[in-house]
Amino acid sequence: MMKLKKTMFIFLMVILIFSGTVLAGSFERTEVILPEISKQLSKLENVIGWTKLPEGHWLSRENRIPMYLSIDYEILQDHEKYSLGKDNFQLLELREMKYDTKDYYILYKHYTEGYYYYKYIEEDWNYLYYVDAYVFEKENLPIIKLEDEKAELYEIKIIAKVSKHYFNQGYGEEYLQDISEKIPASMEEGSQGALIVNALKLGDKVRFLLLEEYPYGLKAFSLISKTEEVFRNFYYETYLSSFKDFWEAN
């Protein structure tokens, strides 16, 4: 009887030791492995945005597409919420990203948003400074081939999208670390829609729109079309050389 009790005691001790080892392992802290981001491969920052106003007059602004307002209210184009335009960006940049032994491209869009502290009476305007990051497979980087006066469309499938905002413009390179910390969770979510690049070459200039197609079907500006009609009322414009250099990141 004593021998049986001793055997059972040893058996129970083995189970407890094994269980303790498993539990200890299950509560072990593990650090998330963050992606490695390369230096900047290319950038696009000096563009002109154009909008056709109701009266047929064309209005331009640096790095933003002006709002669709009557020429009588043109003074508002640079005021508070209107100063954001229909779209804006201060910088587009491409970098390489290594994550989980695989290489990707990551496109960063630096742009401005804003809000009223008292939104219902539109008082106390504040700017916010955003960086959106789009991760995509390296083979999806578009090869830009443009013929004069012929619209082209390029679709970039997005596998992760991350956004970060700041309350002042002086965020420096903080965004690289801040966005890297968010990428692993976004990668686990799967497909994040697509970026649509519409481009139209006219001589040494290119008219273009960078639109986002969301996974659930909504599209920025509700415009995705491989025709000149896309550019009937608004677009960005830059030099052909600058546009091609940006996409030829290699």
Beta bridge partners of 207: 200, 237
pLDDT at position 221, please? 52
pLDDT at position 19, please? 52
**Which of 39, 140, 43, 171 shows the shortest CA–CA distance to 97?**
39
pLDDT at position 249, please? 73
The CA distance from 62 to 65, in Å, is 8
pLDDT at position 189, please? 84
SS (H, E, C) the chain: CHHHHHHHHHHHHHHHHHHHHHHHHHCCCCCCCCCEECCCCEEECCCEEEEECCCCCEEEEECEECCCCCHHHHHHHHCHHHHHCCEECCEEEEEEEEECCEEEEEEEEEEEEEEEEECCCCEEEEEEEEEEEEEEEHHHCCCCCCCECCEEEEEEECCEEEEEEECCCCCCCHHHHHHHHHHHHHHHHCCCCEEEEEEEEECCEEEEEEEEECCCCCEHHHCCCCCHHHHCCEEEEEEHHHHHHHHCCC
- State the virtual CA torsion across 45, 174, 161, 80 in degrees, nearest 10: -60
What is this structure's pTM? 0.85
pLDDT tens, residue order, the chain (250 aa): 555 445 554 544 544 454 555 444 555 666 778 899 999 999 999 999 999 999 999 999 999 999 999 999 999 999 999 999 999 999 999 999 999 889 999 999 999 999 999 999 999 999 999 999 999 999 999 999 999 999 999 999 999 999 999 999 989 999 999 999 999 999 888 777 899 999 999 999 999 999 888 766 555 555 566 677 889 999 999 999 999 999 997 6
Beta bridge partners of 102: 99
pLDDT at position 8, please? 56
